[in-house]
């Protein structure tokens, strides 16, 4: 592995947690160069909801490449784009009563967020954006400004402005607590300049699997309507079925003005991002927001195949609910056995939080030694974050939970 230390930047991170050279992946498994298997409860930070090299998605891509299908097309019209948009419209948007225009802003989630922020400011003529503590929206400057993590914001090198952080939903807030937000919006002094938008994750992934209640999300949406503020939902990591329904906001019965998607929207792990918005917000001039890699057609082919295979019926969503309940039960048992530990989750996004510093990192390290890939999350890496493939088998899920249990017991002993 000397070439990585010699030539790759010190900014690399995941490889420091998992210091092996991976060679191949199939289904729920990654294999290192020596053939050792690792059960993947990380799934590319949510980019691999359908697993590694899923044959349902691989075969259409191989066929497309074998017939010299267009690979790169910027925003030109292609057959692959048309098929993807038709599937998105027929299977996702229309059944949910969502009338959104679709922008292909570039290949990454942070670019989808940049487009959303830029559009909100253009539509409203305002500059400020409200965001939330522990939120994460990306590493480019606009996305970073509305991100809660001070470590990441500190790497910007310039002041990050025009963002106001608000307290995220807290468990037990009944009714939902918007006192601070209401005071800023309605107060006669120390008030907040009316924001162009509020950006929120319905489930904060990088923040530690923090879950906004449906009532809180509805309260937030109502305040945005009342004050003519655009509501942006960042579904980059928690969309495409990660929480059960295709969109994480469906549980609340709200319809955001703008939605950001990436990661698993490309199906196979290919880079693809979408910014969805109400038609009346489509005030872009042609070419006003552009980029070279907006039309990566193999990603559109794989994304189309994923929509047709997994979202033509309710089977995947139902399976995610069943498996999610199984994970929740297992984590509740582990939390009960460790003083101060807490479990939480929705769908197939779960976290196990430890009160003592360093325990979550220790659990993740032991899990890796046992052959399980897990990430840590939260402002102090205090949460073990679990995001298995949505297509994982019953036996694989049970095996992974057994490995996690071993890791927790060893770390807590």
* pLDDT per position as a tens digit, 106-132: 999 999 999 999 999 999 999 999 999
Instruction: Summarize the confidence of residues 40-57 as an average pLDDT.
Output: 98
Tokens found for residue 393: 């088998």
Q: Tell me: pLDDT of 19 over 70.
A: yes
pTM as predicted: 0.96
Domain annotation for the chain: domains and CATH numbers: 2-54+314-412 (3.90.1150.10), 60-310 (3.40.640.10)
Do 45 and 261 form a contact (C-beta atoms < 8 A)?
A: no
Instruction: Summarize the confidence of residues 155-163 as an average pLDDT.
Output: 89
**Distance between CA atoms of residues 13 and 297, nearest Å:** 29
Instruction: Summarize the confidence of residues 75-98 as an average pLDDT.
Output: 98
Would you report the helix, strand and coil content of the chain in percent, each value rounded to 5? Answer: 40, 15, 40
**Distance between CA atoms of residues 39 and 27, nearest Å:** 9
For tokens 């999300």, name the residue: 217
Sheet hosting strand 230-234, strand order edge to edge = 101-103, 274-277, 258-261, 230-234, 197-200, 129-132, 163-166
Do 72 and 296 form a contact (C-beta atoms < 8 A)?
A: yes
**Within 92-189, where are the H helices?**
109-124, 141-145, 150-154, 179-186
| Diameter over CA atoms, the chain | 66
Cis preceding-peptide flag for 380 (omega within 30 of 0):
no
Q: Tell me: pLDDT of 174 over 80.
A: no
Question: What does the pLDDT read at residue 188?
Answer: 60
Closest by Cα among 179, 183, 190, 193 to 130:
193
Strand partners, 260: 234, 275
Q: Report the chain's mean pLDDT, rounded to a whole number.
A: 95
Question: Beta-strand (E) ranges in 22-136?
Answer: 22-26, 29-32, 37-40, 101-103, 129-132
Question: Beta-strand (E) ranges in 154-229?
Answer: 163-166, 197-200, 203-204, 210-211
pLDDT tens across 265-317, in order?
A: 999 999 999 999 999 999 999 999 999 999 899 999 999 999 999 999 999 99
SS3 per-residue string spanning 274-327: EEEECHHHCCCCCCCCCCCCCCEHHHHHHHHHHHHHHCCCCHHHHHHHHHHHHH
Do 25 and 32 form a contact (C-beta atoms < 8 A)?
A: no
Tokens found for residue 223: 């305040």
**Distance between CA atoms of residues 50 and 61, nearest Å:** 15
Burial of 20 (0-12, 13-18, 19+ CB in 10 A): middle
């Amino acid at each position: 592995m000397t070439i990585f230390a010699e030539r790759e930047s010190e900014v690399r991170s995941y490889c420091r947690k998992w210091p092996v050279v991976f060679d191949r992946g199939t289904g729920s498994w990654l294999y290192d160069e020596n053939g050792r298997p690792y059960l993947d409860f990380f799934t590319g930070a949510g980019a691999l909801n359908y697993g590694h090299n899923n044959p349902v998605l691989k075969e259409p891509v191989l066929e497309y490449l074998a017939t010299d299908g267009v690979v790169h097309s910027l925003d030109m019209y292609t057959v692959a784009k048309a098929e993807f948009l038709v599937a998105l419209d027929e299977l996702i948007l229309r059944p949910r009563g969502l009338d959104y225009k679709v922008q292909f802003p570039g290949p990454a989630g942070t670019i989808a967020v940049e487009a959303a922020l830029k559009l909100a400011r253009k539509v409203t003529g305002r500059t400020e954006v409200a965001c939330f503590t522990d939120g994460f929206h990306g590493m480019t400057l606009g996305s970073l400004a509305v991100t809660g993590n001070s470590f990441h914001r500190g790497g910007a090198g310039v002041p990050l402005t025009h963002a106001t952080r608000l307290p995220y939903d807290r468990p037990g807030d009944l009714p939902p607590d918007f006192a601070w937000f209401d005071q800023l919006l309605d107060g006669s002094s120390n008030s907040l300049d009316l924001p162009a938008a509020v950006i929120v994750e319905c489930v904060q992934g990088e923040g530690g699997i923090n879950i906004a209640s449906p009532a809180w999300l509805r309260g937030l949406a109502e305040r945005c309507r009342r004050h003519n503020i655009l509501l942006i939902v960042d579904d980059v990591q928690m969309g495409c079925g990660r929480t059960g329904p295709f969109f994480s906001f469906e549980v609340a019965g709200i319809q955001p003005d703008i939605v950001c998607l990436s990661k698993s929207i490309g199906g196979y792990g290919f880079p693809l991002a979408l910014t969805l918005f109400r038609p009346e917000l489509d005030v872009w001039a042609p070419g006003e927001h552009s980029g070279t890699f907006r039309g990566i057609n193999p990603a559109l082919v794989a994304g189309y195949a994923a929509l047709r295979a997994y979202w033509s019926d309710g089977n995947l969503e139902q399976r995610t609910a069943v498996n999610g309940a199984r994970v929740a039960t297992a984590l509740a048992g582990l939390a009960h056995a460790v003083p101060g530990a807490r479990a939480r989750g929705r769908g197939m996004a779960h976290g196990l939080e430890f009160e003592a510093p360093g325990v979550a990192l220790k659990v993740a390290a032991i899990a890796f030694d046992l052959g399980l890939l897990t990430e840590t999350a939260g402002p102090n890496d205090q949460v073990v974050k679990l995001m298995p493939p949505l297509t994982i088998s019953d036996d694989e899920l049970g095996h992974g939970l057994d490995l996690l249990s071993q890791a927790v017991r060893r770390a807590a002993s």
